[in-house]
Structure 1
């Protein structure tokens, strides 16, 4: 997705949540594009095959693990990072992309993927944001916090209150890894529930979401509009 006119523009890769590609996610990507970015929104469930589109309110009303588990099992931080090689190669073919360095943003499961991508390709990412990302610092070999020493991007991590997928102890572990690595980062805990940024989630919080958009756009503005090839 691109702005309506002008260009070239900086690029941002949008790492989706576990609800997959659906109208609300497309609308979010379009909003980001209209702010002045080439936005690449990959379907990270492509290994699964055809699905959905899923309706979050229906998913959350049913057996979430049974519905989303098989989809989520086809991807992960490591696989998303591997996929990013192809995404970067594609963006490099576009003449409407302003520079080699770009941004990444991820939501829910995509938060860890965005961090993993930026740590795997540190010379390509200047800014990365995670919104209500889960499992960002675990004992798993694919935990995003392990890539902190490689990060060159400025990082913004927005957490939800009382989020079982990202408890305070995990947040402390991630922040310690970022600080020890000398990463430029900032964090915030929003008075909202996990998933608050997604307009089709039952927990969507408009006020908190708008705050998130302000922070995200500021992050990208100060890092992506001043980078060259």
Structure 2
């Protein structure tokens, strides 16, 4: 499986990114994959490789590139509960600096880069994310309805906030089909109801499912939250979504 480390030009510098794609020199549908808060690391690189093995060009940008190449914080091989608070404490200031304006500037650059790769087909792409990456995927899709045909968010966070530009307030701009794979503790029940009401009112094609027996972070095998059954269900939902929406591109 060919992989590359690439540099994406952005208005704020150069974002390093990991890319995985099928061998053979043909064009393939593009997938922009946003990481969880822990960022680009072997776990996400392996996720990109596996998805590429199903016939997709997968681009995984470093969310924190303004602070240096990935990883911007030292990460253990396994992010156990005993060390997780300390890792999050190091990353939280960087997350807080990742404003909506920066998110949207980056999204413009990432999509421009992805859709002009010689290995990527000419049709719309999919955008997906884990944890905070789910919110970034939703913001990217609402800002670029002409380029994004599918959105997937797994154990997503920050989809419903008090902000006037909360992602759930922007879903009327969506043209993409959406899947949300949730754990029971990703968001309060009332927030989930508000999100569903917004999607319904906007007429968005979506599925939203709470995966049984999971907690936040369940797809990540390098954390204590990992659920093998949750990760399998993630693939069982993600691959048909991509097949319906972008596989012919």
Q: TM-score, normalised by structure 2?
A: 0.85
Structure 1 CA distance, aligned partners of 2:94 and 2:40?
12
Q: Which residue of 1 aligns with 2:111?
A: 88
**Residue of 149, 168, 174 corresponding to 1:151:** 174
User: Which residue does 2:55 correspond to in 1?
Assistant: 36
Structure 1 CA distance for aligned equivalents of residues 235 and 97 of structure 2: 29
CA distance in 2, matches of 1:154, 1:86: 22
Partner of 2:73: 52
Counterpart of 2:228? 206
Alpha-carbon separation, structure 2, partners of 1:53 and 1:28: 20
Question: How big is the shift at 1:91?
Answer: 2.0
Q: 1:18 aligns with which of 37, 49, 57?
A: 37
The alpha carbon displacement at 1:155 in A equals: 0.4
Report the more deviating stretch, 64-73 or 81-90.
64-73
Does residue 169 (structure 1) correspond to residue 183 (structure 2)? The answer is no
Per-residue CA deviation, residues 41-65 of structure 1 (Å, 9 max, x unaligned), is 0001112225135237447423344
Q: CA deviation at 1:79?
A: 2.4
**C-alpha distance in 1 between matches for 2:118 and 2:207:** 32
Whether the 8 Å contact between 1:18 and 1:109 is mirrored in structure 2 is: yes
Q: Report the CA distance shift for 1:72/1:60 in structure 2 as closer, same or farther (over 3 A).
A: farther
CA distance, structure 1, for counterparts of residue 188 and residue 207 of structure 2 = 17
Task: Tell me the CA shift for residue 77 of structure 1.
Answer: 4.7
When you count strand as a share of all residues, which structure comes out higher?
Answer: 2
1:122-161 correspondence to structure 2 within 5 Å: 122-161=145-184
C-alpha displacement of 1:139: 1.2
Tell me whether 1:217 sits opposite 2:239 in the alignment. Answer: yes
2:158 and 2:111 mapped to 1: Cα distance?
A: 25
Greater CA deviation, 23-32 or 58-67? 58-67
**RMSD, matched Cα:** 1.7
Partners of 2:46 and 2:99 in 1: how far apart? 24
- When structure 1 is superposed on structure 2, of 101-110 and 91-100 the one drifting more is 91-100
Compared with structure 1, are the counterparts of its residues 56 and 148 closer, same or farther at alpha carbon in structure 2 (3 Å cutoff)?
A: farther
Match of 2:89 in 1: 66
- TM-score, normalization by structure 1: 0.92
CA distance in 2: counterparts of 1:168 and 1:67, whole angstroms? 29
Structure 2 residue matching 1:20: 3-state secondary structure: coil
Residue 181 of structure 1: aligned partner: 202
Contact 1:9 1:38 survives alignment (8 Å): yes
Aligned to 1:47, what secondary structure does the other structure show?
Answer: helix
